Amino acid sequence: MTENDPSAHDPAAPRHPETGQQAAQGGWAGSPYGDQAATPESGGTPQYSAPEPSYHAVTGADPSYGTQQTANPWSAQGAASGQTQQSVYPNPNPYAQAGPAGYGTPPAPPAQPKRSGGKLLAGVALVALLVGGIAGGAVGYLTGGTANGPVGNALDAPKPAQQTGNAPAGSVEAVAQKLSPSVVELQVSGQQGAGEGSGFVISTDGYILTNNHVVEVAANGGQIQAVFQDGKKAAAKVVGRDPTTDIAVVKVSGVNNLTPVEIGRSDDLRVGQSVVAIGSPFELAGTVTSGIVSSLHRPVRAGGGQGGQETVMDAVQTDAAINPGNSGGPLANMSGQVIGINSAIYSPQSGQGQGQGGSESGNVGIGFAIPIDQARRTADTIIKTGQAVQTYIGAQVTDAPQGGAKLGAITPGSPAEKAGLKSGDVVTKIDDRNIDTSDTLVAAIRTRAPDEKATFTLADGRTVEVTLGGQPVPAN
């Protein structure tokens, strides 16, 4: 025998505490401490050498056990591989009991040899817990099938009664049932490309309200097709659109007796109230999501970051999931009344609101909707005249260094000039709403109707009453 002979025996080598066998070089065969682990008697700390986890894509099971050269000592595969495994319980089982069914008084367990450092005891305790849990489960299963009657199986149980009746009032389900028949998917195409978005029916004869950026590509000789909840399709054409508020109206032909939505109001919304969004995100028509009103009066440029200051809207912010394709779809309260038009989402890439049609950014819990009060007024004007009217004061505006909106050039004959506003004036409040930026001022004006009166508070303490004006939005 040589010094490196693995079969060599050293009389001074420690012996296995239960089998009496001496450890071959590298540890006991089948030891839970691995091939190179320190022996319990040596006082060394066991070094576990488990394989890297490789979980099954479906079950989460680790397929590495049973396939390695050294099988998992705690698995059935280890036994099948022919490796000798030492039971944590000495034979005979000290818990086996005499009697007809193996029950009786258990003999006292044999005294265990002392272990140095207590590390082996800790390891055995851990293994006993693991194996004990498995054995306990097996005993419970056998007992459940004998002493406690037959084993129950959920697959053998009859189906529960089918759901009947209406959805509970005020639930997301009830809102979806009420609104879904009125929501359409709009498929658009034109010389500059193609896309899709959402819209909702506002009249039985086929008027549909949506975003301007949804149908813009088809505004000049393009095609629009509306797809309804039941799968029916109808051609549509643009009636009128307003890029400054990102609102458009289209009308379908060849269909009758459509189901219009119930329009609510947005001037009494409260932060935290529940809302539901319906639309066609990523062409998944009829998708329903829910959330809350996260904030109100959020200045956002319509059509995303590409829009200028003239497109700022006074948005309703929501955390209801809104994604590309939701644009133009309704945001509703829990009575199923439309309180906004989903229009934009926050894009972390650019830090600005992004129009649904122009960005593939996904939902991050920050979406924006046009208040329905503003959309209703614009849509009504478009249907009656074919052209939108924009509320304005006739002054250029920039951010003031100390906060507020600083007025620039004043248009002669404009509402601002008639009210006595001057270039250089800094607006800090409109009525009871604080104005911290120029976009906030534009949004506050846009949400109001032409001919309304508003009190402007200036940084020097003066107040000026302004009668807001209205001007047609050029058709293009």
- Please provide the DSSP assignment of 192-238 as one string: TEEEEEEEEE-STT-EEEE-HHHHGGGTTT-EEEEE-TTS-EEEEEE
Q: What is the mean pLDDT of the chain?
A: 77
pLDDT at 86: 45
Cβ proximity of 28 and 18 under 8 Å? no
- The residue type of 84 is T
pLDDT at 164: 84
Active site residue 213: yes
- Catalytically annotated residue among 31, 198, 290, 327: 327
pLDDT at 197: 96
What is the mean predicted confidence (pLDDT) over 228-249? 94
Neighbouring-strand partners of residue 223: 189
pLDDT at 471: 92
Residue 33 — very low, low, confident or very high, per pLDDT cuts 50/70/90? very low
Q: Which residues contact residue 84 at a Cβ distance below 8 angstroms, ignoring those fewer than 6 apart?
A: 29, 30
For residue 314, is pLDDT > 50?
yes
Residue 321 — very low, low, confident or very high, per pLDDT cuts 50/70/90? very high
Residue 334 — very low, low, confident or very high, per pLDDT cuts 50/70/90? very high
- The string of pLDDT tens digits covering residues 424-471 is 999 999 999 999 999 999 999 988 999 999 999 999 999 999 999 999
Q: State how far the Cα of 132 lies from the Cα of 192, in Å rounded to an integer.
A: 69
Residue 404 — very low, low, confident or very high, per pLDDT cuts 50/70/90? very high
Rg of the chain's alpha carbons, rounded to an integer?
A: 37
Tell which wins on pLDDT, 396 or 80. 396
pLDDT at 67: 40
pLDDT at 56: 37
For residue 61, is pLDDT > 90?
no
pLDDT at 347: 77
- What percent of the chain lies above the pLDDT cut of 90? 55
The torsion region of residue 40 among left (phi > 0), alpha (psi -120 to 50) and beta comes to: alpha
Residue 349 — very low, low, confident or very high, per pLDDT cuts 50/70/90? low
Active site residue 327: yes
- Catalytically annotated residue among 246, 314, 319, 425: 246
- Catalytically annotated residue among 213, 290, 294, 439: 213
- The residue type of 149 is G
pTM higher than 0.75 for the full model? no
Tell which wins on pLDDT, 59 or 376. 376
The torsion region of residue 155 among left (phi > 0), alpha (psi -120 to 50) and beta comes to: alpha
For residue 180, is pLDDT > 90?
yes
Length of the chain: 476
Per mean pLDDT, which range of 106-115, 128-137, 218-227, 406-415 is the poorest? Answer: 128-137
For residue 353, is pLDDT > 70?
no
What is the mean predicted confidence (pLDDT) over 285-305? 87
Cα 263 to Cα 136, 333, 418, 443, distances in angstroms: 62, 10, 36, 22
Neighbouring-strand partners of residue 399: 405
- What percent of the chain lies above the pLDDT cut of 70? 64
Q: How does 391-410 read in b/e, with b if 16+ C-beta sit within 10 Å?
A: bbbbbebebbeeebbbbeeb
pLDDT at 346: 87
User: Beta strand pairing status for 223-227 and 183-190?
Assistant: antiparallel
Question: 115: which 2 tokens?
Answer: 């272990």
For residue 80, is pLDDT > 90?
no
For residue 183, is pLDDT > 60?
yes
DSSP E strands, 211-311: 223-227, 233-242, 247-252, 262-263, 274-279, 287-301
Active site residue 62: no
Question: 26: which 2 tokens?
Answer: 């590298």
Question: Is the Cα dihedral 360, 364, 365, 367 positive or negative?
Answer: negative
Which of 349, 375, 378 minimizes the C-alpha distance to 361? Answer: 349
DSSP letter (8 states) at residue 107? P
pLDDT at 145: 52
pLDDT at 474: 78
**DSSP class per residue in 139-185:** HHHHHHTTTT-SPP-GGGSPPPPPP-SPPPTTSHHHHHHHHGGGEEE
